[in-house]
A = this chain, B = another copy of it.
Amino acid sequence: MKYHDSETAREVANRVQAFMDDVVLPREREALATGEQITDDEISELWEMAKERNLFAPQMPEEYGGQGLAFRDMLPSFEQVGRSLIGAISIRANAPDEGNMHTLELVGSEEQKKEWLRPLVQGEFSSGFSMTEPMQGGGSDPKMLGTTAKKDGDEWVINGHKWWTTGGKESDFLLVMARTDLDAHPYAGTSIILVPTDTDGVNIVRNISHLGGHDITEREFGHAEIKYENVRVPVENTVGEEGQGFQIAQMRLGGGRLTHCMRYSGMAERSLDIAKAYLSEREGFGEPLANKQALRHRIADAETKLHMARTGVRHAARELDQSEARIEVAMAKVFTANVTNEIIDLAVQCCGANGIGKDLPLAQFYENVRAFRIVDGADEVHRRSIARDAFEDIREEEINHVLRFDPDRRAESSTDE
C-alpha cells in the first residue's frame, strides 16, 4: 500500500526501512535464535550506525545531536521502527525517553535543556515519566491524582505513590506529575517536576511483574512502583509553567498516541510478514498451509483493517496540524489498538506452536500489544469521548421525525403540514 505522505516523510521512512532491513532486523533475529540478550554496548553500536545514517534521535534539534525532523515528516518512520523489537531504541526513539525529550525540548528551561536534555538525547542519561498512581484506575480521572508537591522556601517537597513508571528503576531522572495547588481544579493546579532519581526520599519499591517480560535486551525496560517520601528538589525543577502539568502531558500525549499507533502498525505488519512466510513454507496434509483458504482470507481481512488503521492515523495527523483533533486521534487510537491486537493474535495462530515460542518475535509482540488497549487512554475512555461528541450532533429533524411518528404527537403536529 502506498500512502500520501510528504516527500520528506517518504524519503526518511525509506532510509529507516533500509536501516531496519540491513542492520536491526538481522540483529534481532540473531538474538532470538541464540537466546542471548543484546547488551548495552551493542545498543551503543546500533546508535553509532544510526548516526552515520542520519537517523539518530530523529525528532530532536540538531544542536542536541538529533536530526531536527518535524513530527509529520517522522511519523511514517515509526511504522518501520515498530517492525522490530529493538527498532525504536536502535534510533533512540524509544519510550519514555523520546517523550521526555519532546517535553523538555518544548517547555524546558535553557538550564534544564543543557543539564538534562542534551545527555538524554545522547543516551548518557535515561529517564522516567511518573504519572500513574495505584488508586487512579489508569489515570483517566484527573481528580484522583494524589501526589502533592508543596513549596517550602525555594524547594518543592514531594509526597506520593506512583507506579507503572516505565524505565523508572534504570533512570537518571524522573518527570513527576504532582498537585501543586490543591485548591485549584487539577487541570489548573498540577505541575511536572524534574526529580533526579538519586534524590533522598525517592524509594523505588520494585519493578512490577507484568504480562510477558523477557526482554531481548539486557537492559530491562521495567515499570517501577515508586514512593516519593518528602523528596526535595529546587523550585527551578518545575518543567514548563507551574499549574500546567496536565496541558503539557496532553501535548505530549496527542502526537504520542499517533506515533504509538504507527509503531504498533509496524509490529502488526511484521507479524503478518512472518505469518505469511510461515504458511508458505510449512506443509500440512500434502500442500503448503498458504494454499488453505481459511487463514488466507483472515489474512486478507487483517491486511484490510491494518490499511484502514494506517489511513486513519494519517488522517488524524493531518488534522492535528490544524486543530486539537481530539476525536480523530481517539478514533485512530482505539481502532488501531484493537486491530493490531487482533492481527498479532492471528499471526500467532497461523504459526501454531511457533507462534507461542520465542524463537520468533510473535509471542513478545503478543505480550506487548495487549497493553496498547489500556495505556494512552483505555478503549473505554476513548469510546466515552467519541460517544459524547457523537451525541452532541443530533439532528433536530430526526428528533422531530421520531416524535412525529409517535401516533399521539403526530396527530398534534399534523396541523403544521
Residue positions of A touching B, CB distance < 8 A: 1-4, 21, 25-26, 29-30, 32-33, 35, 132, 134-135, 137-138, 140-141, 144, 161, 163-164, 205-206, 208-214, 223, 225, 272-274, 276-278, 280-285, 289-290, 292-297, 299-301, 303-305, 307-309, 311-312, 315, 318-319, 327-328, 331, 334-335, 345, 348-349, 352-360, 363, 366-367, 370-371, 373-375, 378-380, 382-384, 386-387, 390-391, 393-395, 397-399, 401-408, 410, 417
Which residue of B has the minimal Cβ distance to A141?
B284
Interchain CA distance A382-B303 in the complex, whole Å: 12
Residues of B within 8 A of A390 (CB): 272, 276, 299-300, 303
Interchain CA distance A272-B304 in the complex, whole Å: 24
* Min CB–CB distance A100 → chain B (angstroms): 20
Residues of B within 8 A of A349 (CB): 373-374, 378-380
Interchain CA distance A283-B402 in the complex, whole Å: 13
Interchain CA distance A387-B304 in the complex, whole Å: 10
Q: Does B391 contact A280, Cβ atoms closer than 8 Å?
A: yes
The dominant DSSP class at the A interface is helix
Q: Does A370 contact B366, Cβ atoms closer than 8 Å?
A: yes
Which residue of B has the minimal Cβ distance to A339?
B308
Residues of B within 8 A of A25 (CB): 397
Residues of B within 8 A of A213 (CB): 213-214
Interchain CA distance A318-B300 in the complex, whole Å: 22
Contact of A277 (CB < 8 Å), options: B301, B307, B399, B417 = B399
Contact of A210 (CB < 8 Å), options: B289, B300, B363 = B363
* Min CB–CB distance A77 → chain B (angstroms): 19
* Min CB–CB distance A272 → chain B (angstroms): 7
Residues of B within 8 A of A4 (CB): 315, 318
Contact of A352 (CB < 8 Å), options: B297, B308, B355, B374 = B374
Q: Does A132 contact B353, Cβ atoms closer than 8 Å?
A: yes
- Known A33-B410, A137-B283, A285-B141; judge A357-B312 contact (CB<8 A): no
Q: Does B331 contact A402, Cβ atoms closer than 8 Å?
A: no
Contact of A386 (CB < 8 Å), options: B35, B212, B280, B303 = B303
Q: Does A406 contact B134, Cβ atoms closer than 8 Å?
A: yes
Q: Does B354 contact A405, Cβ atoms closer than 8 Å?
A: yes
Q: List 19 A-B contacts (CB under 8 A).
A: A35-B209, A134-B407, A137-B283, A137-B352, A208-B358, A210-B357, A211-B367, A274-B401, A276-B394, A281-B399, A281-B402, A296-B384, A299-B391, A301-B383, A303-B390, A304-B335, A311-B315, A349-B373, A356-B374
Q: Does B278 contact A360, Cβ atoms closer than 8 Å?
A: no
Contact of A21 (CB < 8 Å), options: B132, B327, B373, B397 = B397
Q: Does B373 contact A356, Cβ atoms closer than 8 Å?
A: no
Q: Does A297 contact B134, Cβ atoms closer than 8 Å?
A: no
Q: Does A334 contact B304, Cβ atoms closer than 8 Å?
A: yes
Interchain CA distance A366-B138 in the complex, whole Å: 19
Interchain CA distance A371-B294 in the complex, whole Å: 20
Interchain CA distance A399-B76 in the complex, whole Å: 25
Residues of B within 8 A of A380 (CB): 292, 294-295, 297, 349
- Known A280-B394, A281-B399; judge A212-B212 contact (CB<8 A): yes
Residues of B within 8 A of A134 (CB): 406-408
Extra inter-chain contacts (10) besides given A208-B359, A225-B407, CB under 8 Å: A3-B315, A21-B397, A25-B397, A33-B404, A140-B284, A211-B363, A273-B398, A277-B398, A303-B386, A311-B315
Residues of B within 8 A of A360 (CB): 401-402, 405
**A-B complex: 5 closest residue pairs judged by Cβ atoms:** A277-B398, A209-B358, A293-B293, A300-B386, A300-B383
Interchain CA distance A158-B165 in the complex, whole Å: 52
Interchain CA distance A205-B4 in the complex, whole Å: 49
